[in-house]
Amino acid sequence: MADDPMSMYHEGMRRLQDVRETRPLADRLEQVTVRAAFTGEDRAFIERCPMFFIATADASGHPDCSYKGGLPGFVHVLDDHTLAIPDYDGNGMYRSWGNALLNPHVGLLFLDFENPKRLRVNGTAQVSENDPLRAEYPGSVFIVRVTATRIFPNCPRYIHKMQLVDYSAYAPKSGYTPPVPAWKTFDAFRDALPARDRPDGKKEGGP
Protein backbone atom coordinates (compact mmCIF):
# COMPACT_ATOMS: atom_id res chain seq x y z
CA MET A 1 0.00 0.00 0.00
CA ALA A 2 1.38 3.43 -0.93
CA ASP A 3 2.23 5.87 1.84
CA ASP A 4 -0.25 8.65 2.58
CA PRO A 5 1.51 11.82 1.36
CA MET A 6 -0.31 13.83 4.01
CA SER A 7 0.94 11.67 6.90
CA MET A 8 4.25 12.23 8.63
CA TYR A 9 4.71 8.44 8.84
CA HIS A 10 5.84 6.17 6.01
CA GLU A 11 5.68 2.39 5.75
CA GLY A 12 8.97 1.82 7.55
CA MET A 13 7.86 3.88 10.53
CA ARG A 14 4.49 2.13 10.57
CA ARG A 15 6.12 -1.31 10.59
CA LEU A 16 8.12 -0.48 13.72
CA GLN A 17 5.13 1.21 15.36
CA ASP A 18 3.16 -1.97 14.81
CA VAL A 19 5.93 -4.12 16.29
CA ARG A 20 5.81 -2.00 19.45
CA GLU A 21 2.03 -1.38 19.32
CA THR A 22 2.58 2.40 19.24
CA ARG A 23 0.63 3.31 16.08
CA PRO A 24 -2.27 4.88 18.06
CA LEU A 25 0.22 6.81 20.21
CA ALA A 26 2.13 8.02 17.14
CA ASP A 27 -1.13 9.17 15.56
CA ARG A 28 -2.14 10.98 18.74
CA LEU A 29 1.24 12.72 18.97
CA GLU A 30 0.83 13.90 15.38
CA GLN A 31 -2.65 15.22 16.16
CA VAL A 32 -1.68 16.96 19.39
CA THR A 33 1.88 18.24 18.94
CA VAL A 34 2.63 18.66 15.24
CA ARG A 35 2.00 22.05 13.67
CA ALA A 36 2.88 23.95 10.51
CA ALA A 37 3.14 27.42 12.08
CA PHE A 38 5.52 28.64 14.77
CA THR A 39 3.98 29.54 18.10
CA GLY A 40 5.21 32.36 20.29
CA GLU A 41 6.89 29.76 22.49
CA ASP A 42 8.61 28.22 19.46
CA ARG A 43 9.90 31.64 18.41
CA ALA A 44 11.27 32.45 21.86
CA PHE A 45 12.96 29.06 22.15
CA ILE A 46 14.57 29.13 18.69
CA GLU A 47 15.81 32.70 19.10
CA ARG A 48 17.55 31.96 22.38
CA CYS A 49 19.34 28.88 21.04
CA PRO A 50 23.05 29.41 20.23
CA MET A 51 23.17 26.24 18.12
CA PHE A 52 21.19 23.63 16.22
CA PHE A 53 21.78 20.47 14.20
CA ILE A 54 20.70 20.09 10.59
CA ALA A 55 20.14 16.93 8.56
CA THR A 56 20.30 17.12 4.77
CA ALA A 57 20.58 14.67 1.89
CA ASP A 58 21.93 14.92 -1.62
CA ALA A 59 20.00 14.23 -4.82
CA SER A 60 20.59 10.49 -4.38
CA GLY A 61 19.41 10.45 -0.77
CA HIS A 62 22.86 10.16 0.85
CA PRO A 63 22.56 11.87 4.25
CA ASP A 64 24.68 14.42 6.06
CA CYS A 65 24.34 15.92 9.54
CA SER A 66 25.95 19.13 10.71
CA TYR A 67 26.21 21.39 13.74
CA LYS A 68 25.54 25.11 13.24
CA GLY A 69 26.42 27.62 15.93
CA GLY A 70 26.32 31.34 16.59
CA LEU A 71 25.24 33.73 19.29
CA PRO A 72 21.69 33.53 20.69
CA GLY A 73 19.30 35.03 18.16
CA PHE A 74 21.40 34.11 15.13
CA VAL A 75 18.42 32.12 13.83
CA HIS A 76 15.42 34.40 13.29
CA VAL A 77 11.77 33.43 13.00
CA LEU A 78 10.68 35.75 10.21
CA ASP A 79 7.01 34.80 10.22
CA ASP A 80 4.71 31.92 11.15
CA HIS A 81 6.38 29.57 8.67
CA THR A 82 9.87 30.88 7.90
CA LEU A 83 13.31 30.79 9.54
CA ALA A 84 16.32 32.83 8.45
CA ILE A 85 19.75 31.33 9.11
CA PRO A 86 23.08 33.04 8.39
CA ASP A 87 25.81 30.93 6.84
CA TYR A 88 29.17 31.90 8.31
CA ASP A 89 32.68 31.25 7.04
CA GLY A 90 33.54 27.56 7.48
CA ASN A 91 35.75 24.91 5.95
CA GLY A 92 34.47 25.57 2.43
CA MET A 93 33.05 22.10 1.77
CA TYR A 94 29.40 23.28 1.80
CA ARG A 95 28.01 19.85 2.47
CA SER A 96 24.77 20.98 4.13
CA TRP A 97 23.87 23.93 1.94
CA GLY A 98 25.23 22.26 -1.19
CA ASN A 99 22.86 19.38 -0.50
CA ALA A 100 20.01 21.86 -0.04
CA LEU A 101 20.61 23.26 -3.53
CA LEU A 102 19.93 19.80 -5.00
CA ASN A 103 17.47 18.47 -2.41
CA PRO A 104 15.79 21.25 -0.40
CA HIS A 105 14.26 18.96 2.24
CA VAL A 106 15.92 19.52 5.61
CA GLY A 107 15.44 18.60 9.25
CA LEU A 108 16.53 20.94 12.06
CA LEU A 109 16.91 20.07 15.73
CA PHE A 110 17.08 22.85 18.32
CA LEU A 111 18.28 21.82 21.79
CA ASP A 112 18.58 23.34 25.25
CA PHE A 113 21.00 21.29 27.36
CA GLU A 114 20.75 23.44 30.49
CA ASN A 115 16.96 23.31 30.73
CA PRO A 116 16.31 20.13 28.72
CA LYS A 117 14.09 20.85 25.77
CA ARG A 118 14.14 20.08 22.06
CA LEU A 119 12.21 21.16 19.01
CA ARG A 120 12.26 19.70 15.50
CA VAL A 121 11.61 21.73 12.37
CA ASN A 122 11.20 19.93 9.04
CA GLY A 123 10.86 21.91 5.85
CA THR A 124 12.55 23.14 2.69
CA ALA A 125 15.61 25.37 2.43
CA GLN A 126 16.54 28.09 -0.03
CA VAL A 127 20.14 29.36 -0.11
CA SER A 128 20.93 32.85 -1.40
CA GLU A 129 24.02 35.03 -1.61
CA ASN A 130 21.93 38.08 -2.48
CA ASP A 131 19.29 37.90 0.25
CA PRO A 132 18.69 41.44 1.62
CA LEU A 133 18.87 40.02 5.13
CA ARG A 134 22.65 39.61 4.77
CA ALA A 135 23.02 43.24 5.80
CA GLU A 136 21.48 42.34 9.16
CA TYR A 137 23.87 39.45 9.82
CA PRO A 138 27.49 40.52 10.35
CA GLY A 139 29.85 37.87 8.99
CA SER A 140 27.23 36.10 6.89
CA VAL A 141 28.20 34.59 3.54
CA PHE A 142 24.79 33.29 2.50
CA ILE A 143 21.32 33.47 4.01
CA VAL A 144 19.30 30.28 4.22
CA ARG A 145 15.53 30.59 4.49
CA VAL A 146 13.74 27.50 5.75
CA THR A 147 10.02 27.17 5.09
CA ALA A 148 8.64 24.94 7.82
CA THR A 149 6.22 22.15 6.93
CA ARG A 150 6.22 20.34 10.28
CA ILE A 151 7.18 21.70 13.70
CA PHE A 152 7.05 19.48 16.71
CA PRO A 153 8.61 19.13 20.18
CA ASN A 154 10.12 15.89 21.43
CA CYS A 155 10.30 14.45 24.94
CA PRO A 156 13.54 15.71 26.54
CA ARG A 157 14.07 12.78 28.92
CA TYR A 158 17.31 11.56 27.29
CA ILE A 159 18.91 14.99 26.97
CA HIS A 160 21.94 15.07 29.24
CA LYS A 161 21.94 18.22 31.32
CA MET A 162 25.01 20.32 30.54
CA GLN A 163 26.07 23.87 31.28
CA LEU A 164 27.23 26.40 28.70
CA VAL A 165 30.67 27.64 29.75
CA ASP A 166 31.21 30.28 27.09
CA TYR A 167 30.17 31.28 23.57
CA SER A 168 32.60 30.63 20.74
CA ALA A 169 35.09 33.43 20.12
CA TYR A 170 34.56 32.77 16.40
CA ALA A 171 30.84 33.62 16.42
CA PRO A 172 30.32 36.80 14.36
CA LYS A 173 28.65 39.87 15.81
CA SER A 174 28.40 43.54 15.00
CA GLY A 175 31.60 45.53 15.54
CA TYR A 176 33.72 42.44 16.13
CA THR A 177 36.30 40.66 13.99
CA PRO A 178 36.61 36.97 14.94
CA PRO A 179 40.12 35.51 15.14
CA VAL A 180 41.54 33.48 12.26
CA PRO A 181 41.06 29.76 12.92
CA ALA A 182 44.37 27.98 13.48
CA TRP A 183 43.85 25.44 10.70
CA LYS A 184 43.97 28.21 8.07
CA THR A 185 47.62 28.77 9.01
CA PHE A 186 48.64 25.13 8.52
CA ASP A 187 50.98 24.36 5.64
CA ALA A 188 48.68 21.54 4.49
CA PHE A 189 45.96 24.06 3.60
CA ARG A 190 47.76 27.34 2.94
CA ASP A 191 48.10 26.95 -0.83
CA ALA A 192 44.43 25.95 -1.20
CA LEU A 193 42.95 28.94 0.63
CA PRO A 194 41.01 31.53 -1.38
CA ALA A 195 42.78 34.85 -1.82
CA ARG A 196 40.63 36.53 0.84
CA ASP A 197 42.10 34.18 3.47
CA ARG A 198 45.75 34.72 2.53
CA PRO A 199 47.80 37.26 4.49
CA ASP A 200 48.93 38.89 1.21
CA GLY A 201 45.52 38.52 -0.49
CA LYS A 202 47.07 36.68 -3.44
CA LYS A 203 46.28 33.32 -4.95
CA GLU A 204 49.02 30.72 -5.07
CA GLY A 205 51.10 31.35 -8.18
CA GLY A 206 49.26 34.61 -8.88
CA PRO A 207 50.72 38.08 -9.41
> Taking residues 25-42, what's their average pLDDT?
97
The domain segmentation of the chain, as residue ranges, is 8-34, 38-195
Residues 6+ apart with CB under 8 A from 117: 45, 111, 153, 156, 159
Q: pTM value? A: 0.92
CB-hemisphere CA count at 13 Å for 144? 24
Answer with the residue of higher pLDDT: 204 or 24.
24
Q: Is the pLDDT of residue 80 over 60?
A: yes
Share of the chain above pLDDT 70, in %: 94
Q: Which residues pair with 191 in a beta bridge?
A: none
Q: Which residues pair with 35 in a beta bridge?
A: 151
> Taking residues 143-158, what's their average pLDDT?
97
Q: Under a CB-based contact definition with an 8 Å cutoff, are residues 129 and 140 in contact? A: no
- Looking at the domain that runs over 38-195, which CATH code has it been given? 2.30.110.10
> Taking residues 79-89, what's their average pLDDT?
98
